[in-house]
Amino acid sequence: MHMHSYWSDGNAFPEQAADMYRQAGYHFLAFTEHNAFAADTNRWRAVAVSGGIPQTRFDDYVAAFSNEVVSKVEGGVTNVRLKTYAEVKARFDAAGRFLVMPGQEITQTVSAPEAHPAGVQLHMNAMNIPAALPYGVPGGYTPTQMIGYNAALAAASGVAPQRFTVALNHPFWVFCDIVPQNLIDRPEIRFFEVCNGGSSYALPAGAENYTCEKFWDSVNAFRRIQGEPLLFALGTDDAHHYVAPEMNYADGFGSAWVEVRSPELTPEAITAALHAGDFYATCGVLLEDVAFTAASRTLRVKVQAAEGVTYRICFIATKRNFNQTVSYVSSPANGSQPARTIPVYSDEVGQAVKTVDGTEASYQMASDDLYVRARVESSLPGKFTRNFYPAVQTAWTQPYAVAEPVGLTPASESSSALPSSLNTQTRLDKQGVPGLALGLVGYSSAWSDTASFSTKRLPGLLFLCL
Ligand SMILES: [Zn+2]
Ligand SMILES: [Zn+2]
């Protein structure tokens, strides 16, 4: 659900990237270039010039896709036409086996003088939206407003609510840019990256517990007591590098992904399962099953065990009466990283409530658990060493919850982990995002890909990955 090619700052031709995912056993992927939809049929990149494509990558490309390569030589320089998203989709889609979906990484710098003099970085992935979303930042918008604005633009695309996803990417990328309160205040955002292959930031003393998981639990603890939907977590590689050794350091192919339980390999089935929370994030650990039974308030996890590997299953919850205090730690300037302030939530947010060494475990929610989720760690080291990338291969289930006694949960909430979708416009009205109409310019009313989506059924339930 997050990768880059030569359309933006990735280091692969789109076909090279798609081919790697397909050969690695992925069933689907989404193209998510920075502020680009990969639709321009006349986009050329030069080979072997400063800032251009390395000759070796071009040679690899020609070797693999010889008669499909479109190139020309001008002034002694080879120029290559980048295949569009639609061309790559047509080339690689195979009913029931592989699916390419459209996407975009909305990449913005939002003014936030109180947090960061240069503004904060806001990156959000939209998937299965039919055309490029505008990425301009209206003047005066705060990060929270901008997150809502982007979600509203996606919602205004005309695609049905369960047919697309909008995710908050890598809140810890380079700088701690986006804080939990941004997503507490934007409950229409249902997805964020708990594991991104490119995140990095050295936390200052006193803020060591401010991890991606802490971020996640902080959002969900407050959302639950406010009766808002839970935030689901994605794993992504944010792949920029597809060749060793670079791909083994960071931003490398295949370092994290999601496994989705979907009855068929279609965009609508995949996105419906994502919205239903019927998936998990992983950077290596595979699960045989994840089951939450609302009637018994029990979350059960079974690992797809690899030989010679040991596993630890940890259930994590936040209690209803958790300490809501937030303190702040100053993070001094460090090189190009400016000084900033880190919010620190109490230890009662995201507590380990049960830990089991083994490949199978269950946890029955206590009456005061707001939600429960599980983290499964293996004895295998993570793919690379990096801040915010797990030291050991790990999987994360989604959080699950049951309806609370009257007065604690809105009547509309279901008794499962899967709250109904929100009306984004209602949220905007409530939270005040001005100027929504500005963003509607540039939309296409038609999406020709829709008609070509396969509806072939796959046998039984499958976990699919991207
Ligand atoms: Zn990004
Ligand atoms: Zn990215």
Domain boundary assignment for the chain? 14-43+82-465
Spatial CB neighbours of 436, under 8 Å, sequence gap ≥ 6: 149, 152, 153, 156, 428
Q: How far is the CA of 307 from the centre of ligand 1 (A)?
A: 35
Ligand lying closest to the C-alpha of residue 10: 2
**Does 415 score more than 60 pLDDT?**
no
Q: Are 458 and 264 spatial neighbours (Cβ–Cβ below 8 Å)?
A: yes
**Does 22 score more than 60 pLDDT?**
yes
Residue 174 — pLDDT band, cuts 50, 70, 90? low
Residue 402 — pLDDT band, cuts 50, 70, 90? very high
Residues with CB under 5 A from ligand 2 (ion): 105, 238
Handedness of CA 416, 417, 418, 424 (dihedral sign): positive
Residue 120 — pLDDT band, cuts 50, 70, 90? confident
- The per-residue pLDDT for range 422-461, each reduced to its tens digit, is 233 333 333 334 333 222 222 222 222 222 222 222 333 3
- Residue with token string 């040679």: 59
Q: How far is the CA of 170 from the centre of ligand 2 (A)?
A: 9
Q: How far is the CA of 106 from the centre of ligand 1 (A)?
A: 8
Beta sheet of 311-319, edge-to-edge order: 351-357, 311-319, 369-381, 392-396, 279-282, 257-264, 457-465
pLDDT at position 387, please?
77
Q: How far is the CA of 211 from the centre of ligand 2 (A)?
A: 19
Q: How far is the CA of 122 from the centre of ligand 1 (A)?
A: 8
**Residue 419 DSSP class:** P
- Residue with token string 């409950």: 187
Q: How far is the CA of 269 from the centre of ligand 2 (A)?
A: 24
Radius of gyration of the chain (CA): 22
**Residue 228 DSSP class:** P
Distances (CA, A) of 17 to 36, 80, 83, 153: 16, 16, 12, 28
pLDDT at position 441, please?
24
pLDDT at position 115, please?
64
**What is the Cα–Cα distance from 284 to 382, expressed in whole angstroms?**
8
Q: How far is the CA of 450 from the centre of ligand 2 (A)?
A: 25
**Does 57 score more than 90 pLDDT?**
yes
Residue 406 — pLDDT band, cuts 50, 70, 90? very low
**Does 142 score more than 50 pLDDT?**
yes
Ligand lying closest to the C-alpha of residue 239: 2
Q: How far is the CA of 195 from the centre of ligand 1 (A)?
A: 12
Spatial CB neighbours of 355, under 8 Å, sequence gap ≥ 6: 312, 313, 314, 315
Q: How far is the CA of 104 from the centre of ligand 1 (A)?
A: 10
Ligand lying closest to the C-alpha of residue 236: 2
pLDDT at position 404, please?
62
- The per-residue pLDDT for range 244-261, each reduced to its tens digit, is 999 888 889 999 999 999
Phi-psi region for residue 174, left (φ > 0), alpha (ψ -120 to 50) or beta? left
Ligand lying closest to the C-alpha of residue 169: 1
Q: How far is the CA of 170 from the centre of ligand 1 (A)?
A: 7
Q: How far is the CA of 173 from the centre of ligand 2 (A)?
A: 10
Q: How far is the CA of 10 from the centre of ligand 2 (A)?
A: 9
**What is the Cα–Cα distance from 117 to 107, expressed in whole angstroms?**
18
**What is the Cα–Cα distance from 129 to 115, expressed in whole angstroms?**
31
Q: How far is the CA of 19 from the centre of ligand 2 (A)?
A: 19
Q: How far is the CA of 34 from the centre of ligand 2 (A)?
A: 7
Single out the residue of 389, 85, 102, 165 nearest to residue 255, CA to CA.
389
Q: How far is the CA of 65 from the centre of ligand 1 (A)?
A: 29
Q: Which of 82-86, 133-137, 338-342 ranks highest by mean pLDDT?
A: 82-86
**What is the Cα–Cα distance from 248 to 255, expressed in whole angstroms?**
9
Q: Are 124 and 147 spatial neighbours (Cβ–Cβ below 8 Å)?
A: yes
- The per-residue pLDDT for range 262-286, each reduced to its tens digit, is 999 999 999 999 999 999 999 999 9
pLDDT at position 176, please?
64
Cα end-to-end span (Å), the chain: 6
Q: How far is the CA of 254 from the centre of ligand 2 (A)?
A: 13
Tell the burial category of 385 from Cβ atoms under 10 Å away from its Cβ (0-12, 13-18, 19+).
Answer: exposed
Residue 389 — pLDDT band, cuts 50, 70, 90? confident
Q: How far is the CA of 337 from the centre of ligand 2 (A)?
A: 19
Single out the residue of 235, 322, 243 nearest to residue 61, CA to CA.
243
Spatial CB neighbours of 60, under 8 Å, sequence gap ≥ 6: 16
Residue 403 — pLDDT band, cuts 50, 70, 90? confident
Q: How far is the CA of 130 from the centre of ligand 1 (A)?
A: 20
Residue 332 — pLDDT band, cuts 50, 70, 90? confident
Joined tokens for residue 172: 């810890």
Single out the residue of 399, 378, 353, 347 nearest to residue 208, CA to CA.
347
Q: Are 70 and 91 spatial neighbours (Cβ–Cβ below 8 Å)?
A: no
**What is the Cα–Cα distance from 339 to 377, expressed in whole angstroms?**
33
**What is the Cα–Cα distance from 465 to 29, expressed in whole angstroms?**
8
Average pLDDT over residues 16-21: 98
Q: How far is the CA of 86 from the centre of ligand 2 (A)?
A: 20
Average pLDDT over residues 100-117: 85
**What is the Cα–Cα distance from 278 to 262, expressed in whole angstroms?**
8
Q: How far is the CA of 410 from the centre of ligand 2 (A)?
A: 36
* Percent of all residues in the chain with a pLDDT value above 90, rounded to a whole number: 70
pLDDT at position 54, please?
94
Tell the burial category of 177 from Cβ atoms under 10 Å away from its Cβ (0-12, 13-18, 19+).
Answer: buried
Bridge partners (DSSP) listed for residue 264:
457
Ligand lying closest to the C-alpha of residue 197: 2
Q: How far is the CA of 123 from the centre of ligand 1 (A)?
A: 5
Q: How far is the CA of 327 from the centre of ligand 2 (A)?
A: 30
Ligand lying closest to the C-alpha of residue 107: 1
Single-letter residue type at 335:
G
Q: How far is the CA of 238 from the centre of ligand 1 (A)?
A: 7
Q: How far is the CA of 210 from the centre of ligand 1 (A)?
A: 20
- Mean pLDDT check: name the lowest of 109-113, 189-193, 308-312, 419-423: 419-423
Q: Which of 49-53, 375-379, 429-433, 442-446 ranks highest by mean pLDDT?
A: 375-379
pTM score over 0.75: yes
**How many other β-carbons are positioned within 10 Å of the β-carbon of residue 59?**
11
CA dihedral 372, 378, 383, 385 (to 10 degrees): 80
Ligand lying closest to the C-alpha of residue 174: 1
Full DSSP string of 96-151: TTBEEE-EEEEEEEEEETTTEEEEEEEEEEEES-SSPPP----TT--HHHHHHHHH
Q: How far is the CA of 33 from the centre of ligand 2 (A)?
A: 7
Q: How far is the CA of 121 from the centre of ligand 1 (A)?
A: 9
**Does 297 score more than 60 pLDDT?**
yes
Q: How far is the CA of 403 from the centre of ligand 2 (A)?
A: 36
Spatial CB neighbours of 185, under 8 Å, sequence gap ≥ 6: 144, 431
Single out the residue of 402, 16, 459, 23 nearest to residue 239, CA to CA.
16
